């Protein structure tokens, strides 16, 4: 008897260096044991030092890729990364509505670690008003949450305020990732904030000392999408994603790939011990 294979569709940009975007997503899906299909929104000529050039895919061709995957492979979870333009955002929002996709993980990619723009300025409005209302969960980092809310976010309290605003905009759950935030009470930890409109939790794990952080946000949200495709509830999926990225950053801490920010070690995970969920502390907060 044949088994169903959990599958995720990532709709994102290609990183020629392999550390972020579509490539990070597919590495992560494979490491998490789910099938990864892809619809590419843009080609970036990129390495660990930065983005040298971008070539955007026309929106109808993004739609053609989505249709080809959906009419045959039927992934139940979509994950979006670099969407580049308003046209592509609107195309993805339409398609998500037409296919009544059960879970959409929206990683609101705007700017690369290197500082290069990955989303047109005038596309922020479409991201908030067209796609966010279709999402199950949005996974902004500090800079993205600041751009979407207008708040300055330097502490856990400000993360909580931003999560409440973001939830209020589109009704999606929020996981505000705190790789670039150091709350004084949580020194030495990388802390993410989870808010689904009912419960607020903090997810904390050791902060790994490494410059190999390229694609960290993509990897976290891809692991989240993979866990949803495997049927885990959202908070459990978030815990798994946090465990996965902590292991992947640990695995990457002592190797060198490129001269800039090297990638997380998705592939090294397969060579080491199984994931240890006790690495992540989950603390319930009032809101």
Ligand X SMILES: Nc1ncnc2c1ncn2[C@@H]1O[C@H](COP(=O)(O)OP(=O)(O)OP(=O)(O)O)[C@@H](O)[C@H]1O
Q: What are phi and psi of 26, to 5 degrees?
A: -70, -40
Report the interface residues with ligand X, using CB under 6 A: 113, 141, 177-180, 190, 192, 207-208, 213-217, 220, 242, 245-246, 249
Considering the complex, what minimum distance in angstroms separates the CB of residue 201 from ligand X? 13
Considering the complex, what minimum distance in angstroms separates the CB of residue 245 from ligand X? 4
Calculate the alpha carbon distances from 125 to 50, 147, 153, 170, 250 in Å.
Answer: 26, 11, 21, 12, 37
Name the residue among 144, 142, 143, 70 with its Cα closest to residue 106: 144
Tokens of 16: 């020629």
Give the nearer residue to ligand MP5 in terms of CB position, either 36 or 215. 215
Considering the complex, what minimum distance in angstroms separates the CB of residue 112 from ligand MP5? 3
Residue 44 binds to ligand MP5 (criterion: CB under 6 A): yes
Q: Which residues pair with 202 in a beta bridge?
A: 193, 283
Query: Residue 63: which of ligand MP5, ligand X, none does it interact with, CB under 5 to 8 A by kind?
Result: none
Q: How do 137-138 and 103-106 pair as beta strands?
A: parallel
Query: Residue 81: which of ligand X, ligand MP5, none does it interact with, CB under 5 to 8 A by kind?
Result: ligand MP5
The rounded distance, in Å, linking the Cα atoms of 67 and 212 is 35
Angle between helices 234-252 and 216-229 (to 10 degrees): 140
Contacts of ligand MP5 in 200-219 (CB under 6 A): 214-218
Size of the site for ligand MP5 (CB under 6 A): 18
Residue 109 binds to ligand MP5 (criterion: CB under 6 A): yes
**Could you give the strand order of the β-sheet that contains 281-285, starting from the edge strand earlier in sequence?**
51-56, 35-46, 7-15, 77-80, 103-106, 137-138, 173-176, 189-195, 200-206, 281-285
The rounded distance, in Å, linking the Cα atoms of 239 and 227 is 10
Query: Residue 156: which of ligand X, ligand MP5, none does it interact with, CB under 5 to 8 A by kind?
Result: none
Q: How many CA atoms lie within 13 A of 2 on its CB side?
A: 3
Question: Given candidates 15, 158, 183, 192, which one binds ligand MP5 under the rule CB under 6 A?
Answer: 15
Give the nearer residue to ligand X in terms of CB position, either 163 or 249. 249
The rounded distance, in Å, linking the Cα atoms of 119 and 107 is 12
Span near ligand MP5 by CB under 6 A; candidates 15-23, 130-138, 147-155, 197-205 = 15-23
Considering the complex, what minimum distance in angstroms separates the CB of residue 5 from ligand X? 26
Query: Residue 183: which of ligand X, ligand MP5, none does it interact with, CB under 5 to 8 A by kind?
Result: none
Residue showing the smallest CB distance to ligand MP5 in the complex:
21
Burial class (CB in 10 A: 0-12, 13-18, 19+), 206: middle
Query: Residue 179: which of ligand MP5, ligand X, none does it interact with, CB under 5 to 8 A by kind?
Result: ligand X
Residue 20 binds to ligand MP5 (criterion: CB under 6 A): yes
Give the nearer residue to ligand X in terms of CB position, either 178 or 262. 178
Considering the complex, what minimum distance in angstroms separates the CB of residue 42 from ligand MP5? 7
**Positions in the binding site for ligand MP5 (CB under 6 A):** 12-13, 15, 20-21, 44, 46, 81-82, 109, 112-113, 118, 214-218
């Amino acid at each position: 008897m044949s088994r169903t294979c959990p599958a995720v569709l990532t709709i994102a940009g290609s990183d020629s260096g392999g550390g972020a975007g579509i490539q990070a997503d597919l590495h992560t899906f494979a490491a998490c044991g789910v099938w990864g299909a892809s619809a590419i929104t843009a080609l970036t000529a990129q390495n660990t030092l930065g983005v040298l050039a971008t070539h955007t895919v026309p929106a109808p061709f993004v739609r053609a890729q989505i249709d080809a995957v959906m009419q045959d492979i039927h992934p139940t979870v979509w994950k979006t990364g670099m969407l580049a333009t308003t046209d592509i955002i609107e195309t993805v929002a339409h398609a998500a509505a037409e296919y009544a996709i059960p879970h959409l993980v929206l990683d609101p990619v705007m700017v690369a670690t290197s500082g290069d723009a990955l989303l047109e300025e005038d596309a922020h409005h479409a991201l908030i008003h067209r796609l966010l209302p279709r999402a199950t969960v949005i996974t902004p980092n500090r800079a993205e949450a600041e751009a979407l809310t207008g708040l300055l976010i330097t502490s856990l309290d400000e993360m909580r305020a931003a999560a409440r605003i973001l939830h209020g905009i589109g009704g999606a759950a929020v996981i505000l990732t705190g790789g670039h935030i150091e709350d004084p009470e949580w020194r030495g930890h990388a802390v993410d904030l989870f808010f689904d409109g009912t419960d607020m939790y903090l997810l904390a794990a050791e902060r790994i000392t490494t410059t190999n952080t390229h694609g960290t946000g993509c990897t976290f949200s891809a692991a989240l999408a993979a866990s949803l495709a495997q049927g885990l509830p959202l908070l459990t999926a978030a815990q798994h994603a946090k465990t996965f990225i902590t292991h992947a950053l640990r695995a990457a801490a002592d190797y060198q790939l490129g001269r800039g920010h090297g990638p997380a070690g998705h592939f090294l995970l397969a060579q080491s011990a199984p994931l240890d969920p006790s690495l992540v502390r989950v603390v319930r907060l009032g809101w």
